[in-house]
Structures are given as C-alpha cells and as structure tokens.
A and B are shown apart, each in its own frame.
Chain A
C-alpha cells in the first residue's frame, strides 16, 4: 500500500491507521456528529435550559408534572439540535446506563439488585463472573437457522448477559459467516463456544486461537494456504481488520505473514481436534522473512509477537471497543490513555473492560444516549423488557431486515455500528418488529412505570405527550418500544 494514508485527516480520534470500514468506523459519519455537538447545542427553555445541569431527580420523577416545560423544548429544526439532558449524576440512571451497554438492559428486579451492590461492584460482577455455558444445540448444528436460534435463545436466557455481549462483539470483530464456512462441519458452533470462553482472556491467546480456529481457517482461506503459494487473505485481514489497522503495515508485511502462517490444515475426525493441524511439509521453507521491520525466522507465534509489539494494535482495538461501548467520537486523549494501559497490562481484556466502565468518559453527559443499539441488542432488550423469550423466532425474521443476524455478517469487517444502523429501511424494520412483537402477546407486563424503568424518565416532548395521551398499557408499550429513546443506549 504505497500511497499516503491521508484518510485519517478528519478523524476526531486522530488515530493513525484507522481503516475505512464500510458502514463502521466511517469518519464521514463521525464528522456529522462532532460539529453539531459542539456548535448546535441549544438552549431549550424552561427547566431543561440548563442542559447537562438538569437535575436527574426532577427528570425521573416529574415527567408527568412538567408537561408544559417539556412542550417548551424546541423540536430540532434545520441547524439546531437539542441534547438529551443527562441523568447520569444519579446512581439509578448510571447503573441502568451501564447495564444497557454491558448487557441487554435491566428489568426492575435486576436494577434493584444492582442498586444494592453499587456501581463499582456491579462492574466487578460483570467482568469477574465466568460466562454461563449455553445448552447443547438442539437438533442439528448443520441447520443454520437452528444454530442462530440457539444463540438468540441463550442471549435471552443467560444469567451472564455481559458474556454474550462480549461474544457478540468478538463475533463481529473476528468474524465468520455461514455462507463461506458452511454448516457441514460444526465449525461455527465451535467458534462461538471458543469466542465465549476467551471473550475476557487476552489478545495474545485469542489471536493464537483465532488463527487456527477451523471456522476462521475456512472463512479466510488459511486452511488451503501453502508455503510455496501462500494465500494472503487471512494474513491481510489479521493485520488490517483484526489488529493494526490499514496504513500501519505494508504489502511486504502481508506477504511475509502469509508465508509464515502457511501450513495449517483443517482437523479431520482422526485428529480429534477442534483447532487446525500444522503440517511442516506444507509450510514455508524459504529464507528469512521481513515482518514489521524485523528479519528472521517467522512463525505463528512470532507473527503475533510482532503485532503485539506494534503501538498501532492497542490503539486500533481500544478505538473499536470505545466505539461499541462508550462513544462514537471519543477524545484522542481518552483512547491514548486506555491504549497505554491495555498495552502495559499485557493486552488483558478484563482489565480493559473494567477501565472502560469505570472511566469518567463512560458516564459523562456526552456519553448519555450517544450509542445506537445494534439490531440484536434492540430486539433482545425489547423481548427481555416484555418478558417474552417465546418470541425469539421473531428476532431471526426481523434481524435480517434491520441489518444484523448472527453468523451472517455483511462482510469480513463484521457489522457496522451506531449511526450506520439507521437508514429508512432499518427504521422501518425496527418499528415493524415492535408492532409485530406486541401483536403476538396477549398479556403484557404493566406499563405504568415504563418511562422511568426503561428510559430513565428522560423523554423527548413528543414521547412525553404521546405517553400522556395513551389510554392503555398496549399503547404505552408500543410507544416506548418504537421510541428513539429505546433505540439508544
């Protein structure tokens, strides 16, 4: 890749080598937010005029009593944006915010239990509790529908939803799809178990595992790469999408790593193995290779060592984690701080996630509702709120229309996030999901307190008005599940 990498010029994160991802970390989209956030903050009248300084307590308790004030909120017109007033100064809202982002949202009981523990201990519990094991796949894992349903069901049922959020995160990062991997072998099932087991391990172990994971070996063709004629597919994406980011390595590095990683084949039944098997005779047998500035003998371990020695790696991964869990437009200093810590902490994921959740940036007012729930998160959180796990089949149907179904990412960069989830087509699909889910339920949980429980009591004037006008719980549920507030986190 000879040319200058000028693409980062407009990136507010200022991360060298941040790659272009279609629909993912697209600076074009980030740019849409930043200027507005900075320049379009508008005084909105009444009690809300103080913006971030609004008392969370008032918001949580007074939504009924201050309709006149709410209707004073000026709806956004061209060139003006009002901010969500952040309730995160208040413990309840802070914990609800954490659980929305780290899990699939909390019901009244979960919220109450978490409140008793306090924020810090909830974070401990999230990162320290080992993942709940999913049951065996019912039926046949060669049936992709059954496999997808199995994971969705587990997301709804698991006592450790943070493990599922992390597994989903890695599934989008070290991604594979059933179309290429196929379902004749249980490779994707194995991969899912592995990602869950290693979701909070460390980068070195996970990269080793990812490279020789049979699903990945098939998805990115490492299984057929030989030293004589290396296949560059895995090598390139290992550097570009998995660890360092475009611009932080050269074409020579791709070729060197492709040679070094050749020689692995898929396991056969006789191997009794769930990882690839190395065959010396198919491996690279030529002279020394130059990889990331160092020349010498190169194998899987030294490729990973080289990647971990590069400063770009921590920055790249931390940026992605932050875009998923904290903010679409983080400050460069925040990324630098977390990346330094990640690097010196031997790339330990638990430490990283703990730092993320405990960072002031996670709970500051700019962070509030700055992320858009992915389709899976939106649907799982809706069904959990409705206490309706029996509707999990709907997740499979609707997910495709919203742009996300597990084991079927759009491309090798996995799924996009945040604003890329919203188009005229996907908004329609989200609304249709809410309507359709509610139409299939005869009994609904009480909705009297929904605005406070699900939406922190922070509502737009329209949502407030419609909820005030709603005559029954079904209408209230419809409004809450359709509302932008519930689509954000």
Chain B
C-alpha cells in the first residue's frame, strides 16, 4: 500500500479521531486480519507537521544506563591483550562467548540476540564514541541525548526529530517513554509533546471521566512559571488515555497470549517496558519513537555476575519483544537500537569491576537491519592517556543513518552536520 493510496499525507487530528472510532467499532471483525488493520491505522496516525509524512516506521531506543561494558557484550575472541588487561573478566567471558565470527562472540547470556544475528538481523557498530569524552555519567548521557559533544545543546535528538517532523500536540504518543515516570532527555524538546507511560497496570485515572474532567479543568491554564508544563502534562494525560483507550479496544479482540508463546522476563523492568511498547505498537496507537531503559550497568565492582545477569535481561526482553512484533506483522517496521553513555575501561580494577571508559559498541536489531559488523574496532594495544579506547565512529553517524534511512527525517537538520555513512540498514526505507 503506498502512501498515496491511504492518503496519509493529509491526515490531521480530526482524521485520527475518526479513524480511531471506526477502528474501535470494527474491532470485533478484526480477529482474523488484525495485523493489517492496525498497520493502516498506524499509518493514519502519523499526520505530518508539514504534510510531509515520512513513513510508518518505528524506532525503539534501549538505554543501558550506567555505562555498558561492550567488551563483555561483543567480546573479542582472539586478542591476547584482553587477557593482559582484565585477567579475571576475560577468562570468564571469552571461552563461553557465543561466536558471531572468528573474531567476536556475544555474551553467553545472549542466545536470543545471537539468533537475530543468525538471521542477519543484528548489526554491531564498533568503536562508537565522540571527541574529548566525558567520564561523568550525567555529562555523557547528556551528550548522547542531545547529540552534541560540545554540550551546548539542550534539546534531545529525538525530541528535535518530533518537533521538526511530526505534529505531536495532537499525537502525544508520537514520542513515548515506557516504564519510567519522566521524559528521558533524548525525547525532550520545548516544542514536543511526549507521553510517559510507566506501566499498563497503573495507567489511567481513578474515578473515571469525572476525575478526568475535574483534573483536566484544574490543571489547564494554571498561572505561574509552571503553567505551560502543567497544561501540557494534563493534555497529554487526556490525549494519551484517549489514544490508548481506542487502541486497546482494538487489541482486546486479539487473543494475544494464545497467538504467541511470549516470554517477557519478569525479573526486570525492561521486559515490562518492552511488552508495553509492543502493545502500543501492535495496537496501532500511533507510537513512533519509543524509549526504554535498563539500569545497573555501572559495574565498578563484582562485574562478572551482575553484568551477565544484565545481558540476560536485555537478551530475553529483546527476544520476546522481537517475537511479539513478528507475530503481529510489525517486525518490518521496527528498528531496535541500544545506547549507553560510555563503555568501561579495558583494564579491570581490584574490585572485580571496571571504571568508566570511552568508545563503546552499539547494537542495532530488527528486520530493517543489514546484519554484520560496522565501524572499526579500536585497538586494545593503543589506549589513550586515560587508559581508554580511542573511538573510531562518531555516535551521531548512527543517529544520522536512523534519521535519514529509517525515519525519513533530515538528519542534517537535527544534528547540524553530516557524517560518513554507516550503512547498517538494508535499504533506505523511506
């Protein structure tokens, strides 16, 4: 179905509502062909700001907060230097790694992502970083969130993408943070309206429409410096409730758990957040840019078991999420990417852990991906003055590829400059 056929270029808020109602009413008839209809519906939602709707692709960014040790994620199998620098951690990582090729293997707890590799659906970009790296969590998170190593920008790169490309005021689910209570920095932009859904279990207002009406009236038009913030928050609550209500009505007809043997891990909030993300995507709620977080990567101490566990959580959550999308017919639309503020230092410390490092590896997963290795692996024998790896790929080159060739946005407009292409996508999917 081409864009012209569904006429999505012209869709506005009104049409979204109409489509929603129609969709809701027709939901009982959808049991057989549910996958196709949410697709069309999802298309309808993306009313573009300037009539230039791009496509109905979805991006899911997974933040590995605290600084993920990429040398225990995508493990170098042949480099003796790794054993010199981290005798304990390397000895417990290399032999049990799941080989991707002769040089690299995934952490032992990542069989699900390994299976994506086997299907050509995992791209690994090596040596990702930026000039003059900061070793502060918060500064480096900010650099990644704003896409600005000079630390001048304040708006998030996804927030900017929303502002420049979508009419988020009518569609607060365009950008959505799942499994948290706050808007993550990457989605933040003064002009973007962004939803935050902590959990599907607690989502909604107690007291129903009466509460909604009273609270809506009270919080709108609040005087004072927080007026705009309160106004946006309550409007987003109302719009999000409306969107989710409409979308979920459609999904009630899908015997979700019967269609798939989905096993989202129960031990971690990432599993719950991705399950929520999947239901928002597959129900056609109109989500476009999603952000979820797995924390706990600041492994200064006793890294081995903790990091293995984290890799397991990531793997199980992503595997279940991918499977979920796949059986609902959405896997072609969704790109999954990991990011972390930095990696760990190659040399291990006396606490059985690693301190803050620099260049990292980024994982890109899903059907839009052209599997393989990209970038250039930094040499473990050529560390910088702080004992850290020298980056070879600017992290913004990854953003550029996502923006230009997955979301159909203008990366230069968002990032302010161009980078050498890192072609990890199968084709420009615009």
Contact = CB atoms under 8 A, between A and B. Distances in A.
Contacts of A231: 300-301, 349-351, 353, 355
Contacts of B135: 1, 236, 251, 254
Interface in A174-208: 179
Contacts of B228: 32, 36, 76, 81
Contacts, number: 234
A372 B194 CA distance: 20
B190 interface: yes
Interface in A207-233: 220-221, 224-226, 228-233
B356 A232 contact: yes
Interface stretch (A295-303, A337-345, A413-421): A413-421
Nearest to B239: A424
Given A23-B182, A372-B226, A432 B233 contact: no
A161 interface: no
Interface in A28-80: 28, 31-33, 36-37, 73, 75-76
Nearest to B301: A221
A267 interface: no
B229 A32 contact: yes
A246 B353 contact: no
Interface string A443-481: 000000000000000001111001000000000001100
B248 to A, nearest CB: 16
A450 B19 CA distance: 45
A7 to B, nearest CB: 4
Contacts of B137: 411-413
B152 interface: yes
B50 interface: no
B181 A426 contact: yes
A460 B219 CA distance: 10
Nearest to B156: A28
Interface string B198-229: 11001111110001001101111111111111
B410 interface: no
Given A9-B152, A423-B196, A424-B172, A240 B223 contact: no
A27 B296 CA distance: 26
A401 B200 CA distance: 12
Contacts of A73: 223
Contact of A428 (B142, B149, B150, B205): B205
B138 A462 contact: no
Contact of B353 (A221, A254, A425): A221
Contacts of B217: 462, 466
A76 B202 contact: no
Interface residues of A, number: 85
A484 B151 CA distance: 33
Contacts of A138: none
Interface stretch (A14-22, A147-155, A382-390): A14-22
Interface in B104-135: 131-132, 134-135
Nearest to A226: B350
Nearest to B181: A403
A91 B301 CA distance: 54
B185 A428 contact: no
Nearest to B132: A3
Contacts of B218: 460, 462-463, 466, 479, 482-484
Contacts of A76: 221-223, 227-228, 231
B386 interface: yes
Contacts of B298: 233, 412
Contacts of B188: 28
A165 B138 CA distance: 26
B64 interface: no
A424 B236 contact: yes
B24 interface: no
A33 B155 CA distance: 15
A84 B223 contact: yes
Given A225-B349, A428-B203, 20 more contacts: A1-B132, A1-B139, A19-B138, A22-B142, A28-B155, A75-B220, A81-B223, A221-B300, A224-B350, A231-B353, A232-B300, A246-B134, A246-B138, A422-B230, A423-B181, A423-B182, A426-B181, A426-B196, A435-B206, A463-B218
23 contacts: A1-B136, A6-B150, A10-B154, A20-B139, A26-B154, A33-B226, A76-B221, A82-B223, A83-B223, A224-B352, A370-B225, A411-B295, A413-B137, A419-B226, A423-B182, A423-B183, A424-B195, A425-B182, A427-B234, A435-B207, A439-B206, A460-B218, A462-B217
Interface of B: 65-66, 131-132, 134-139, 141-142, 149-152, 154-155, 172, 180-183, 185, 188, 190, 194-199, 202-207, 211, 214-215, 217-231, 233-234, 236-237, 240, 295-296, 298, 300-301, 349-353, 355-356, 386
